[in-house]
Structure 1
Amino acid sequence: MTAGLGIRVALKPKYRITPPPQLSPQVGDIPRSNFQFDFEFERKILAEAEKENMNWSKLGLENLSSKPIETSSSSTGANSDPVVSKYIASGLSREAVTLAVANYGDNPTKVREFVTGYNLLREMGFSSNNVAEALLMYDNDTDKALAHFLNSSS
């Protein structure tokens, strides 16, 4: 066996039931991934997610959104809206807060429910517009919105 190629597994004799299969001697090149998973970053995200008032800004996640959000509300007031600014200052993402305030106004409970569900579903890879529509359709019920996506995907 070539050094550094493959994985060696040893089974105790009492667990062996048949002779092991013979592997072909010519394996060829095994593609290797150079992806480095950031376990420390993942721990920080999980720790933040368990807090009641999540503050994603200290993790630098606000720069990860793939594209700016298009909203139906007037874009001129979005940046200077004191209600939006208040929620963003508390650590919520601008993208989600803008949509939440456009739909619920200054209702802290509804805005936080929407933002929490929105962030969760966006992290799962669903598009911004679909997430917003589903959360509004199901009154911020993340489970129902997720079920809607899973049942409607073909």
Structure 2
Amino acid sequence: MTEHFDHVPTIDSAEDRARYERGLAVLQAIDGGSGAAVMDALQDIAPALAHHVVAYGFGDIYARPGLDPKQRQLVTLGMLTALGGCEPQLEVHVKTSLNVGLTTTEIVEALIHASGYCGFPKALNAIFVAKKVFAERGLLPVQDHLTPEG
């Protein structure tokens, strides 16, 4: 993957630089380019926010031990679904979920599971985001062998 970040805000310490570099490595390993596009889009308005997303979100949080990337993405899908109104970020994370090896069935099942906790409107919005991503990748129809009858 090509380095997409043309402008990195001034970083005050070696520790902050290490956090950013660790986060960038994690982001590049799991992302497939969607996150880099988001970071690039912030460069002309909020490069510091882009830095914090990479350094904190990926360098501090995502890089922690204890959960593998698939588990982290399942948590992220559930949280973004529950929050609602995060469809652009959910789209990035559906793509990332596929990149780290989650199947379409696992993603759909996670979003169905979320419906019991956050309601049908939010789960439907999330499912339609997933459907868009799956269609872009030629992954429709999803084979659902997990229906109550089956």
TM-score (norm 2): 0.26
Q: Which has the higher contact order (CA 8 A, sep 6+)?
A: 2
> Larger helix proportion, structure 1 or 2?
2
TM-score (norm 1): 0.25
Q: Which has the larger radius of gyration?
A: 1
